[in-house]
Copies of this chain bind each other. A is one copy, B any other.
Amino acid sequence: MTVELKNELKVYSRPESLTDTATHYCPGCTHGVAHRLVAEVIDEMGLRERTIGVASVGCAVFAYNYFDFDFVQAPHGRAPAMATGVKRTLPNNIVFTYQGDGDMASIGMGEIVHAAARGENITVIFINNANYGMTGGQMAPTSLPGQKTTSSPNGRDVETMGYPIRAAEMLSTLDGAGYIVRRSLHDPKNIRMAKKAIRTAFETQVRGLGFSMVELLSICPTNWGMSPTQSLQWLEEKMVPYFPLGDYRVSSAVAEIKI
């Protein structure tokens, strides 16, 4: 049906920093939400022409097709190193990586720890969806104990497969980190909080206050084998308890940022 409004006003529309391209993400995948939030923040801060994104290897490997600013694409796990190279060469540009949990917390562990330890003045958007989405749902370092994946067919056995890694907590032990928080994308309230955190992270970088990372709990309906809405529920009920939302490192300087 079509609703008629007299002298209506457009109060929200697709952010400018997104291209006019439909994503390849599965229906309901919150990678899309994370993209949108980053784009909205870049728009609101007027950073589009200054920003250089670093895509990683994962379902978001094609992020450069969806963001309307300069982008480079890193080998699996190496985005923080690549971002370091970009930022050190162009210190006045805004550089962020967009990485999945397999990319950042598994193969890319060395690079993320050292980027944080160096206080590299970059921003990391970390998508934790408790599995390797792109390759078809294998176990990630973030997969929950007992979680069934294609590489833990009987559920993750912590005795042989180890325990999930809480990246935000771990990286928060490093002095170079200015802002490290965890948020979730499972409902409007949390999505709004996620956006605020992304804003703060970019503000941290703009002010040169060191390494910033926002971990976002995200769904993978396809590999979780659930509908998008069921997935949101699973995230809230299963993931949030294991990956508590909150601020893990907010340097005093960052704490002063008012948005």
Q: Contact between A166 and B173 (Cβ–Cβ < 8 Å)?
A: yes
- The answer, yes or no, to whether A44 is at the interface (CB within 8 Å) is no
Residues of chain A in range 108-123 having any CB-CB distance to chain B below 8 Å? 108-110, 113-114, 117-120
Q: Contact between B109 and A162 (Cβ–Cβ < 8 Å)?
A: no
Copies in the complex: 2
CA distance A113 to B106 in the complex (A): 9
Q: Contact between A173 and B170 (Cβ–Cβ < 8 Å)?
A: yes
Tell me the smallest distance from the CB of A112 to a CB of chain B, in Å. Answer: 9
Interface size on A, residues (CB 8 A): 26
- Which residues of chain B come closer than 8 Å to A175, judged between CB atoms? 158, 163-164
- Which residues of chain B come closer than 8 Å to A119, judged between CB atoms? 158-159, 162-163
Residues of chain A in range 70-112 having any CB-CB distance to chain B below 8 Å? 106-110
- The answer, yes or no, to whether A245 is at the interface (CB within 8 Å) is no
- The answer, yes or no, to whether A47 is at the interface (CB within 8 Å) is no
- Which residues of chain B come closer than 8 Å to A176, judged between CB atoms? 158, 162-163
- The answer, yes or no, to whether A174 is at the interface (CB within 8 Å) is yes
CB < 8 Å: which of B117, B120, B162 contacts A117?
Answer: B162
Tell me the smallest distance from the CB of A173 to a CB of chain B, in Å. Answer: 5
Q: A163-B176, A166-B173 are in contact. List 9 more A-B contacts (CB 8 A).
A: A109-B114, A113-B165, A113-B170, A114-B162, A117-B163, A117-B164, A117-B165, A118-B161, A164-B175
Q: Which 10 A-B pairs have the closest CB atoms?
A: A118-B162, A163-B175, A110-B110, A109-B110, A170-B173, A163-B176, A117-B162, A109-B113, A117-B165, A169-B173
The interface of chain A, by Cβ under 8 A from chain B, is: 106-110, 113-114, 117-120, 141, 158-159, 161-166, 169-170, 173-176
